Amino acid sequence: MYGTPPPAMLNVQTPLSGSQMMLRNGPKTAPVMESPGHPQRSALLEEFRGNKTRKYELKDICEHMIEFSCDQHGSRFIQQKLEQATQEEKELVFEEVARSARQLMTDVFGNYVIQKFFEHGSQVQKHMLSKQMEGHILTLSLQMYGCRVVQKALEHVITEQQASMVRELDGHVLQCVKDQNGNHVIQKAIERVPAEHIKFIIDSFHGQVYTLATHPYGCRVIQRMFEHCDEAQTRPLLEELHRYTTNLVQDQYGNYVIQHVMERGKPMDRSLVCSRVRGHVLQLSKHKFASNVVEKCIAYGEPKDRKVLIDEITAVRRDGSSNLINMMKDQYANYVVQKMLDVVDDPQRESIMIKIQPHMGALRKFTYGKHLISKVEKYVAAKEAGQVYVVDSVSGHSRGSHTPISASSKTSV
């Protein structure tokens, strides 16, 4: 969500000249001014953009609502006024805007005015805009600005209208999911539309879970589904997901889906993920993407699963070597060791630190070993001072990996 930039300074009242008075109170169509770069900008809009001392009201731009809506400064002005406008003022704007609503929905600045009507308009106005969208939901969903209007509509219209809108996407779900704009509409439908009206969306995911989970936009949609849909809808898809866990944890996008399962999934699902990691902790911890998942297994795994993974890390072989020593020196695996120190109980932490401390000198030679040294020293200092070193036991660490987030529903210019 993006914040609203500061409004233009249009607050100070000054006396109006005769020509200004004519423009403010009439005629209804202001003359067009020829100006470099903007030959079709009306005199009224030129004056509005240039006069920083005059306080304008919505009634002052009658018959120019469309032009103002398509101008960056004009659009911002209308948006701000609509937030506090009376019903009469809203109707004044809507009467003009409704004539070109479809055009405004896909305009770089005009779309925000339409969004404001879905937020602050009457139910009648929202219904009228929804009717204009009928038959065009797919096209709007795939368009950079139109997709924002569809999302806003799904947030504010009644259930019957929501259902009507999403029905137009039936047969096009996967196309939308894989589109940089359309995926946001599918996410919003999953979040806001009652389950009985989006069954076709969930059904389209069957047999496609791996493909979607490894897609930069699809992985976000899959996560929204696991968050908002009920067990009956998600269980078959989770079972499909589990068949590919080993591959997904190592994928630049799939790892986010598995992390999501660890953070929000049921105990049985978390245990299944941990079982895929077990026996491969060292290999996966040293992997740029999979190491994120190992961290989540350490942080969110069931106690018995967590213990098995920690034992695998700390076990000492006959030759005196252990995965722990190897992991401490690795640019990714060292974060897993840090996470392990954060989540274990005091006796386990003491045992692990005893194994780490003899290698502190060697660790200082490694760039990534310094992170671990810092954490160990803080624990040691806290212990000596008789204090508890408080940590955030579930926060992740950045490895410079690509987070699959694209432009979402921007709501104001």
Angstrom distance (rounded) from CA 90 to CA 244: 53
CB atoms within 10 A of CB 27: 9
SS3 label, residue 52: coil
Mean pLDDT of 101-125: 98
List, for residues 205-241, the tens digit of each pLDDT value: 999 999 999 999 999 999 999 999 999 999 999 999 9
Rg from Cα positions in the chain? 29
Place of tokens 């993006």: 2
Closest C-alpha to 114, from 86, 139, 90: 90
Angstrom distance (rounded) from CA 62 to CA 68: 10
Predicted structure pTM score: 0.83
Closest C-alpha to 409, from 172, 73, 146, 70: 146
SS3 label, residue 42: strand
SS3 label, residue 222: helix
List, for residues 327-358, the tens digit of each pLDDT value: 988 999 999 999 999 998 888 888 888 888 88
Where is 94: in which H helix or E strand?
Answer: helix 87-97
CB atoms within 10 A of CB 169: 22
Q: What percent of the chain has pLDDT over 90?
A: 69
Angstrom distance (rounded) from CA 130 to CA 34: 37
Q: Is the peptide bond before 267 cis (omega within 30 degrees of 0)?
A: no
Angstrom distance (rounded) from CA 109 to CA 229: 34
List, for residues 257-295, the tens digit of each pLDDT value: 999 999 999 999 999 999 999 999 999 999 999 999 999
